[in-house]
Structure 1
């Protein structure tokens, strides 16, 4: 329990040992908060949740490492530290994901290399950081109506799900970010393996937790109404509901084993020790290209999905947690890239999709992402960039399965629209975001639709 200070006690405020009491109390409070944030609710559930975001992280980072020379070892080290810090600060499975717009530009434009990526990440993060420290992000958070946020979430979730289906159905050239021919049924990365993995996750995890109190009370009522002769069945059913089978961990371990079997030489190519870190030289032209091609398209997505949407979703999933405010999330997102990008680490952000994926597979505390951060940090320090040889052979179909459930979980958050007007605004925002591939354009259309409906309602009520 944290030590409190009585303002009426002069010893607590001045003189002798009293000078140290406020400091001691604040330190104790921070330690208690850190302990609570990093507590494992269930070891296997938290470790399982840690794998829930890999369907997004691995394909993007691998693609950039293979095609643009991104240093995987450096990225693993920095993102591992980011994960640990966010888990400690927020106490929820706050994700650390690559900035997708910047990654998409780099994969589609051969002239957009590592210096341009780092410039785009620094400029985007500086903008978001300024919004955070000036508390302007709080105004943005309260200004954006819930149906527009849900539209952005639904669009992002459907984007993830459609990309996942593409990963599952077609073979992928990650270095070129292109789909190839249809995936064969058999093989170590075959369609049959991916479908079996989907069945496995559905049987183990179902549709996910339902937070409705009414649903939980109804289940308890049914249990009480059952005849005493069915106590054995009731006990078995409770155990089945509470069983913790680490489905995502099993899929990830299976993927690593299959990767080694598919490319045995990769093990011999592993080299001990971290990558050599060096400051990235960013020429003036790279700053210009990074701003125009990377930062300007990325900023709307970072503000809407990485701050506003992730804060809304955190409130939905963890209403008791107060740490994940729009101000704090924008500050941590900005700060981590203002350090890591100078050393060549992939520009990263928080994202509603990653949070949904980690929650889907059981992540409930900061220990979830801290465990993932520990894994990344260990790989980055022990093997550096040489781990790319193994991960490049990881079955893409299994990554598609993880990404599919993360996308569906994020899209499900949009089910709470209470009126036809709210659903209309949400779907307008979603449709424009998907067709135009622009969260900014979808946001603009959603805000216009919301404003027009408000004007119509006021005109009718006059």
Structure 2
């Protein structure tokens, strides 16, 4: 929260927002677009979520998070659910079920203080294996999107081809080199311009003012169970670790004067988001340490960055809503795929530190095996639950074997010393 004991009045808060309304804060608001844009567009084009609802509720949650925490706590898609939804073609009802399940459990664990206890029993290499597996699924989906494209010949399209892929990759690499260059936003604007030109040339239906309509999503029992099994189980450990525990640790490190930040309000925030929004077709949202780090890197230091982004989303959702789909259908797959691939890459890179004891060779080897088992089963079966269970079993069986080996070695060592 904005300080544990500090509650600025409205006048002070407005003055703070006015003072911090700078170009750097606006730039910082773009720091997490590389994750949001490709996932939102991918799920909206296939009608797996409501674009209008996702924009409106995503914007509202940005604004509320800004006022609640006073720092740029990002609002981003639940990546493991998004990866499962895209690769397994889950319905809106199944996606909503997964989001509500995760948020409901996290909300309960947070408000009861059990969240830290649960995370102790989920080993780090299992978490990292799920992150790597979810990232790989997004990367595979991106490659699939590129398969219909061409380099040249009669099948090539001026607005969508491999030359745009190379161009987009070059811009993204510039962003990797120059940390404050908002490559995802630049790439999105280029894609938007191409989409508008394509829309006009082919006389397709474009965005228009319309009264927003929220779909009502009521999953059936089978859809609820399938959503939990196919996507919710895999997302749960990621959300408990990355959307609550890791965010709190990073926020306390980056913003010590505004803290201390604690698990309970962060878990409550994640829970409220999807226990409300998913009923109306919104994409499942959460917080994330990666998004916070990205926004901070691009200049965000206060809640102003999240307020700006939230207002933009809210405006687009309320006044254009589903009519944006016509424009998004013209969005070049070549550009979208690169953004999606990079999102998957960034998620998979989280597996770099996969052990709690990277300096111990045996622990590192065991944990790396657990990570590979989790990732391999998840991507091979395209099922997060199988990956999660396989990783948990591998970790604890390995742990038991090591404990037994240590126990049986001690008597023999003692006997050798006495002899």
The equivalent residue for 1:203 is 174
TM-score (norm 1): 0.69
Pair 423,363 (structure 1): closer, same or farther in 2 beyond 3 Å: farther
The equivalent residue for 2:233 is 300
What is the CA-CA distance between 1:72 and the residue it aligns to? 1.9
Post-superposition Cα deviations, 1:398-454, rounded to whole Å, max 9, x if no partner, equal 222223333333333433452333433443333233332225235414532662475
State the alpha-carbon separation in 1 of the partners of residues 67 and 371 from structure 2.
Answer: 33
Q: 1:247 aligns with which of 183, 207, 216?
A: 183
The equivalent residue for 1:447 is 395
Aligned pairs for 1:118-157 (under 5 A) are 118-157=96-135
Pair 117,203 (structure 1): closer, same or farther in 2 beyond 3 Å: closer
Q: 1:190 aligns with which of 161, 164, 188?
A: 161
Matched, 1:291 2:224: yes
State the alpha-carbon separation in 1 of the partners of residues 341 and 86 from structure 2.
Answer: 24
- The answer to whether the Cα contact below 8 Å between 1:357 and 1:406 also exists between their aligned partners in 2 is no
State the alpha-carbon separation in 1 of the partners of residues 348 and 82 from structure 2.
Answer: 23
Matched, 1:430 2:358: no
Pair 326,267 (structure 1): closer, same or farther in 2 beyond 3 Å: farther
Aligned pairs for 1:23-62 (under 5 A) are 26-28=7-9, 35=16, 42-43=24-25, 45-62=27-44
What is the CA-CA distance between 1:261 and the residue it aligns to? 1.4
State the alpha-carbon separation in 1 of the partners of residues 15 and 239 from structure 2.
Answer: 23
Pair 164,347 (structure 1): closer, same or farther in 2 beyond 3 Å: same
Post-superposition Cα deviations, 1:28-49, rounded to whole Å, max 9, x if no partner, equal 599669959x876824641431
- The answer to whether the Cα contact below 8 Å between 1:53 and 1:406 also exists between their aligned partners in 2 is yes
Matched, 1:94 2:27: no
TM-score (norm 2): 0.75
Matched, 1:85 2:64: yes
Matched, 1:277 2:256: no
Pair 3,331 (structure 1): closer, same or farther in 2 beyond 3 Å: closer
- The answer to whether the Cα contact below 8 Å between 2:32 and 2:74 also exists between their aligned partners in 1 is no
Aligned residues: 387
Structure 2 unpaired stretches of 5+ = 379-383, 412-419
Aligned pairs for 1:60-79 (under 5 A) are 60-65=42-47, 70-79=49-58
State the alpha-carbon separation in 2 of the partners of residues 34 and 312 from structure 1.
Answer: 31
The equivalent residue for 1:339 is 276
What is the CA-CA distance between 1:61 and the residue it aligns to? 2.4
State the alpha-carbon separation in 1 of the partners of residues 141 and 369 from structure 2.
Answer: 21
Superposition CA RMSD, Å: 4.0
- The answer to whether the Cα contact below 8 Å between 2:99 and 2:232 also exists between their aligned partners in 1 is no
State the alpha-carbon separation in 2 of the partners of residues 159 and 271 from structure 1.
Answer: 34
State the alpha-carbon separation in 2 of the partners of residues 448 and 261 from structure 1.
Answer: 56
State the alpha-carbon separation in 2 of the partners of residues 157 and 132 from structure 1.
Answer: 26
The equivalent residue for 1:159 is 137
Pair 42,26 (structure 1): closer, same or farther in 2 beyond 3 Å: closer
Pair 338,412 (structure 1): closer, same or farther in 2 beyond 3 Å: closer
**More deviation in 362-371 or 289-298?**
362-371
The equivalent residue for 2:198 is 262
- The answer to whether the Cα contact below 8 Å between 1:39 and 1:366 also exists between their aligned partners in 2 is no
Structure 1 unpaired stretches of 5+ = 5-21, 171-180, 209-243
Matched, 1:374 2:311: yes
What is the CA-CA distance between 1:195 and the residue it aligns to? 1.6
The equivalent residue for 2:266 is 329
State the alpha-carbon separation in 2 of the partners of residues 268 and 303 from structure 1.
Answer: 39
State the alpha-carbon separation in 2 of the partners of residues 338 and 27 from structure 1.
Answer: 28
Matched, 1:392 2:340: no
